[in-house]
Chain A
């Protein structure tokens, strides 16, 4: 019946006693009324809100306590605070600027992380939507062998028939198709899904059929971007759209427009059609059944009450039954990946696939950076406000003599600091608002400036904490002094110098650490982008062959294109290939006699591939035009893996191989996937037939094995002309089919874009922190110099040189920074080692980096101190001596 006691206490705290009784009575009564109408928790929330709303000037100022302290004193303190700010413009500016910068950085990171966390959580009941993934373990040792998230076509229907507690299930695969608009043809990404897709995921349907957007096979759902491209302003629903999926054109009816919510969704789509079109895409009907081939993702939605662990066990058991893998040495465990981890992946699940993924390490790096910058700025703020207040010892001495209470003086200090911190907070909010587009650009994000009450609360809390700490430190120093010595103005900084030194050291430890990190990050990135990939990426061009061709069609198209191209002197070489560097390469699995599996990457290439790519042959020979499909070339890793002394003439192991193939050559390892990974075994062949025999499993993102891309090596210089020639040749041979040409160099750069972006962000963060710390140092040295102005004058009179004076001031700071460098180096080394572990190819962290970073900071410090010190050492000593 009773409202919580603490709320009553809370009201008593700020309500004037003469009003408290009736106020509490009213609040109480309302709470009881609310409880009858609403739920208990809502009534409780309303009670708290009601109570808090009484915290307003109309009530507070009727309080005798506030009346006594405030009003007049508040006004005077406010005035004094503003006056002081004006008088010490330099400190105030530096203080506000430093704090504002760091809060801004903090806010940007906050928005960024918030966006990353909210990814994919807009779907209704998103906790019960999962991606079906598998974990293959050794049956005996339980050792993890591989993870994957691609499935065969049959899994979905088997699951639907056998497991009723799966509410929705949808397969998902995408490929490129052609869309006709008038006489033009465009290449678009087309996604194939089950009708359940739009029931499972809550993509808002903007127009058209809301309840069942993919009712039948002739319907297509498109995104607003596609509406704009193909229909302009007209209403697209019910209109026809001609799409080429696979080989045949097909007329679709637009049934709905759905919003893929780009900024929060990891499964982006442009055009979505029914999964039944898959039969036009696969090379043979055998791909549609069985469990041997896996090439698509499967998403399921469970009943929310379902226990996920139990479900995983059930699915593991069912999967074994479906795929009949009981006798195999590997056991497949089904793992349900919550869709909230699609974007922000965890190590428990495989990361490649249709969904957009994101390396959370970088989020942690960002949060860490943000905390570092904040700590530096806060320490700076505390250090500056507390040392600046020492300037005003005399003022406080007089106030004390005139009868000011200690409490009043502390209140004044607090107010002054609070005003500074508030200004910084406001400035931070304004500048964040202004800089969000810049940051979006830099981090390739789509952040929006949204002020939530939590955020504002957080900033206020931060400001409050900073002000309380720094004013407490200043008051402890100032108010401890005897009034008489304060009046005389004689004081030693003795007591507080240890804390101050400590703060300087901590600040610069962070700074040096950040700089080391920045340099190391840059080094690694340079290393990665300059590392020899094993092929010559320069002047190498990729052109996609038309996707509507079958195996022989593609081969013919390539031959035609090639003959025309080779007439030009600037075209040095051409080749056709199944996979390119921008996608995951296909993996073939071959069953062994003892039921173990051997897997290797596979690529179908034209005979001129090795030459065009500039891959080095280390044994045997290259393909020849008159080679049969028998001939294969393998890479060095394969030789190493098999332990072959003489690889030529060996056979790829596999119990199903009938005809013998022939290893004609071995190439040096070239990097066909990311530099994060080591090069794995590879088989290249000009025809797939001989390999297909031994095949018992495929994991692939590019299928079927045929030519999809033409690689062209062009001569340096005349790039534009050659590109024009390639395009005209394309038009002559392929007609109106869309032409797309990319430089391999650009594609590779794209691959490391994420790292590049972070390297930029880290640069900025390091710049920020160094700037803030440098500002603090500048103010601090200025303070020290002011204190010792007279001393310096005397020294000068007695014959000290300018350099001596500079060294006198600088010595201590340089010592502190030296200590900071020593502290920072091992920490940074340890953290960087950890990060570098994620690369298969990494730079060594040389000690030069560490020494250089420390040295750089020392130089900056020395310069800033010198500028300050030069001011004194250059003035006439008599002036300094006269100063009183």
Chain B
């Protein structure tokens, strides 16, 4: 059986890299508490991957440029020498992006068993 991956080829103009997607998901997950350090810790805790703080920061800023997240300052604490956190929130566009990525994945996944049987 020959399959055409039309969905896959029809890529949207904006798309996310693997790391960007990871960070964006984390921002969505952490909701009100999404700032640089928390994301680093969360990534290490949830999937055991050690990432550098600066990489997370740069990714967040880049996604802010693309309009997937917005940020505002808030939540100073002694632990931070009185500096405020930059809290990120996912925008509607960002949420849509995540959604569509997830759907694409699921669709692709659904092809896998088909492929397996058809080759026999």
List the A residue with the shortest CB-CB distance to B41.
Answer: A33
Shortest CB distance A57–B (Å): 8
B55 partner residues in chain A, CB cutoff 8 A: 53
Question: In whole angstroms, what is the CA distance A24 to B58 when docked?
Answer: 14
The A-contacting residues of B in range 48-64, CB under 8 angstroms, are: 52-55, 57-58, 61-62
The B-contacting residues of A in range 11-27, CB under 8 angstroms, are: 19, 21-27
Shortest CB distance A485–B (Å): 48
Shortest CB distance A236–B (Å): 44
Per-residue interface assignment for chain A, residues 35 to 65, with 1 indicating a CB less than 8 Å from any chain B CB and 0 otherwise? 0000000000000001001101011001000
Is there contact, CB below 8 Å, between B84 and A26? no
* A2 CB–B CB distance under 8 Å: yes
Question: In whole angstroms, what is the CA distance A305 to B53 when docked?
Answer: 42
Question: In whole angstroms, what is the CA distance A62 to B86 when docked?
Answer: 16
List the A residue with the shortest CB-CB distance to B74.
Answer: A22
B53 partner residues in chain A, CB cutoff 8 A: 26-27, 30, 50, 53-54
* B24 CB–A CB distance under 8 Å: no
Is there contact, CB below 8 Å, between B73 and A26? no
* B13 CB–A CB distance under 8 Å: no
One of A22, A58, A62 near B83 (C-beta < 8 A)? A22
List the B residue with the shortest CB-CB distance to A16.
Answer: B61
B73 partner residues in chain A, CB cutoff 8 A: 21-22
Is there contact, CB below 8 Å, between B80 and A28? yes
B68 partner residues in chain A, CB cutoff 8 A: none
| A58-B62, A62-B61 known; A22 vs B84 contact (CB < 8 Å) | yes
| A21-B83, A22-B85, A58-B62 known; A29 vs B37 contact (CB < 8 Å) | yes
* B94 CB–A CB distance under 8 Å: no
A21 partner residues in chain B, CB cutoff 8 A: 73, 83-84, 86
Is there contact, CB below 8 Å, between A25 and B80? yes
| A19-B57, A50-B53, A54-B57 known; A26 vs B35 contact (CB < 8 Å) | yes
| A25-B85, A29-B79 known; A50 vs B57 contact (CB < 8 Å) | no
The B-contacting residues of A in range 61-76, CB under 8 angstroms, are: 62
Question: In whole angstroms, what is the CA distance A30 to B83 when docked?
Answer: 13
Per-residue interface assignment for chain A, residues 143 to 171, with 1 indicating a CB less than 8 Å from any chain B CB and 0 otherwise? 00000000000000000000000000000
Interface centre among B37, B54, B76, B84 (most CB of A within 10 A): B54
Question: In whole angstroms, what is the CA distance A56 to B86 when docked?
Answer: 19
Question: In whole angstroms, what is the CA distance A32 to B85 when docked?
Answer: 16
List the B residue with the shortest CB-CB distance to A25.
Answer: B83
One of B35, B58, B61, B79 near A28 (C-beta < 8 A)? B79
List the A residue with the shortest CB-CB distance to B62.
Answer: A58
A56 partner residues in chain B, CB cutoff 8 A: 54, 58
Is there contact, CB below 8 Å, between B61 and A24? no
B35 partner residues in chain A, CB cutoff 8 A: 22, 26
Question: In whole angstroms, what is the CA distance A32 to B76 when docked?
Answer: 15
| A22-B35, A26-B35, A26-B37 known; A54 vs B54 contact (CB < 8 Å) | yes
| A54-B54, A59-B58 known; A28 vs B83 contact (CB < 8 Å) | yes
Question: In whole angstroms, what is the CA distance A23 to B80 when docked?
Answer: 10
A53 partner residues in chain B, CB cutoff 8 A: 52-55
Is there contact, CB below 8 Å, between A23 and B62? no
| A22-B84, A25-B84 known; A59 vs B57 contact (CB < 8 Å) | yes
* B27 CB–A CB distance under 8 Å: no
Is there contact, CB below 8 Å, between B62 and A25? no
Question: In whole angstroms, what is the CA distance A27 to B80 when docked?
Answer: 8
Is there contact, CB below 8 Å, between A22 and B86? yes
B37 partner residues in chain A, CB cutoff 8 A: 26, 29-30
Is there contact, CB below 8 Å, between B52 and A24? no
* B81 CB–A CB distance under 8 Å: yes
Question: In whole angstroms, what is the CA distance A59 to B52 when docked?
Answer: 14
One of B58, B80, B81, B85 near A58 (C-beta < 8 A)? B58
Interface centre among A2, A29, A62 (most CB of B within 10 A): A29
Is there contact, CB below 8 Å, between B61 and A58? yes
Question: In whole angstroms, what is the CA distance A63 to B105 when docked?
Answer: 37
* B69 CB–A CB distance under 8 Å: no
Interface centre among A3, A8, A25, A62 (most CB of B within 10 A): A25
Shortest CB distance A66–B (Å): 14
Is there contact, CB below 8 Å, between B54 and A24? no
One of B36, B61, B76 near A26 (C-beta < 8 A)? B36
Question: In whole angstroms, what is the CA distance A659 to B80 when docked?
Answer: 94
* B23 CB–A CB distance under 8 Å: no
Question: In whole angstroms, what is the CA distance A602 to B60 when docked?
Answer: 83
Question: In whole angstroms, what is the CA distance A30 to B40 when docked?
Answer: 10
Is there contact, CB below 8 Å, between A26 and B79? no
A29 partner residues in chain B, CB cutoff 8 A: 37, 79-80
Per-residue interface assignment for chain A, residues 76 to 111, with 1 indicating a CB less than 8 Å from any chain B CB and 0 otherwise? 000000000000000000000000000000000000
Question: In whole angstroms, what is the CA distance A54 to B40 when docked?
Answer: 15
| A22-B86, A23-B36, A30-B40 known; A59 vs B54 contact (CB < 8 Å) | yes
Is there contact, CB below 8 Å, between A22 and B54? no
The A-contacting residues of B in range 62-105, CB under 8 angstroms, are: 62, 73, 76, 79-81, 83-86
Is there contact, CB below 8 Å, between A24 and B57? no
List the A residue with the shortest CB-CB distance to B76.
Answer: A25
Shortest CB distance B44–A (Å): 11
Shortest CB distance B48–A (Å): 16
B84 partner residues in chain A, CB cutoff 8 A: 21-22, 25
A28 partner residues in chain B, CB cutoff 8 A: 79-81, 83
Shortest CB distance A390–B (Å): 43
Residues on B lying within 8 angstroms of A by beta carbon are 35-37, 40, 52-55, 57-58, 61-62, 73, 76, 79-81, 83-86
Q: What are 9 A-B contacts with C-beta separation under 8 Å?
A: A2-B81, A25-B76, A26-B36, A26-B57, A29-B80, A53-B52, A53-B53, A54-B54, A59-B54
User: When A and B form their complex, which 9 residue pairs have the shortest distance between CB atoms, in order from nearest?
Assistant: A58-B58, A25-B83, A22-B86, A25-B80, A53-B54, A26-B36, A26-B37, A54-B54, A28-B81
